[in-house]
Structure 1
């Protein structure tokens, strides 16, 4: 049985395994736990997991950002969308995206935005099937080094 729910601290090891698949490396467990505790205290963050018979096999994070233009409604940024390679094409990604969209509606967000790596063509097909459309914009990122 598949359930979509907030990720709890007991699932951090499984979440780190998913992030290893996504990023090609594991987070330091202590840093992960500290960051997790920080975001759990901030109501703007939503960290959802897709659990199959109790096992975490997918996740995504949504962050609600308050906008200051137009009607000053918030928007949502989605990050770290991942479904285990063992569980793809079983509807987990769709269930996660549908759940985060419902939360964005509840929080009066007027749009959802996310980026996806240029080479992730299979993910792009999935996002388009979910109703997302590519917008021709330039994305920029600057990695900041530690002091």
Structure 2
């Protein structure tokens, strides 16, 4: 098992993995453009877990600046996925440990992640890693974007 940053060459495999997670295809042309922009910003960290040379899992951590209190940054974790055919082998745990190291190295005070209400198996996984449910309400508003 090898965990390393995702590169442009890994994007087609990442797209297939995301389709497994979300159930919808990713626009790979747009994915390439967004990946390039994210790399240029430097606060996006997309890691891949490679098993026998193939992408088996991934996680994305975004380091966000904060203007409150001591103004320490925090990390938001998104798009955590381990392929169905290889789960329960410690891959997710290793991915989360690596993204947490990045958060610590960047001076983050805490990590935020959200998980869909119905993903009970994922919730158990996160709790085993030390994440605790907090009594907060999460809200999401999907926006209709205007085409230019």
Class of the TM-score when normalised by the shorter of the 2 chains: over 0.9
Q: Secondary structure at the match of 1:86?
A: helix
Matching residue of 1:145: 144
Matching residue of 1:12: 11
1:55 equivalenced with 2:33 (yes/no): no
In the TM superposition, what is the alpha-carbon distance from 1:42 to its structure 2 partner? Answer: 1.4
- Structure 2 alignment gaps of length 5 or more: none
- Structure 1 alignment gaps of length 5 or more: none
* Separation (CA, whole Å) in 2 of partners of 1:131 and 1:124: 11
1:125 equivalenced with 2:124 (yes/no): yes
Q: Secondary structure at the match of 2:135?
A: coil
* Separation (CA, whole Å) in 1 of partners of 2:110 and 2:17: 27
* Separation (CA, whole Å) in 2 of partners of 1:90 and 1:31: 32
In the TM superposition, what is the alpha-carbon distance from 1:53 to its structure 2 partner? Answer: 1.7
* Separation (CA, whole Å) in 2 of partners of 1:50 and 1:134: 26
* Separation (CA, whole Å) in 2 of partners of 1:25 and 1:135: 30
CA RMSD of the aligned region, Å?
A: 0.6
For each residue in 1:35-83, what CA deviation from the matched residue of structure 2 results, as whole angstroms up to 9, or x when unmatched?
A: 1111111111100000112111100100000111111100000000011
Equivalent pairs counted in the alignment come to 146
* Separation (CA, whole Å) in 2 of partners of 1:131 and 1:43: 27
For each residue in 1:87-125, what CA deviation from the matched residue of structure 2 results, as whole angstroms up to 9, or x when unmatched?
A: 100111000000011110001100000100000000000
Matching residue of 2:103: 104
* Separation (CA, whole Å) in 2 of partners of 1:22 and 1:10: 20
Query: TM-score, structure 2 length as denominator?
Result: 0.97
